[in-house]
Amino acid sequence: MAQHRSLRLSKIAAKRNVLKRYERINLLMARGKWKEGDRGLGLPKTKPE
């Protein structure tokens, strides 16, 4: 039985525009806007690179 085309995995991996909290913290660290000991809540908005 064949798999329906809507259930197949796409061959093009789209870039996500929403980051997880740990991804946002890592991005802020790379940009120099995160200090050790800062709170993980209320993070500023970031755009993925």
Domain count within the chain: 1
Residue 5 lies in a domain: no
* Burial letters 3-41, b for 16+ CB under 10 A, else e: eeeeeeeeeeeeeeeebeeeebbebbeeeeebeeeeeee
Residue 2 lies in a domain: no
What is the reported pLDDT for 16? 76
Kindly report, residue by residue over 10-48, the tens digit of the pLDDT.
666 667 788 899 999 999 999 999 888 888 888 888 887
Is 43 in contact with 18 (CB distance < 8 Å)? no
Tokens 């929403």 belong to 18
The pTM score is 0.62
Residue 8 lies in a domain: no
What is the reported pLDDT for 38? 85
What is the reported pLDDT for 30? 93
What is the reported pLDDT for 24? 92
What is the reported pLDDT for 11? 64
Is 24 in contact with 43 (CB distance < 8 Å)? yes
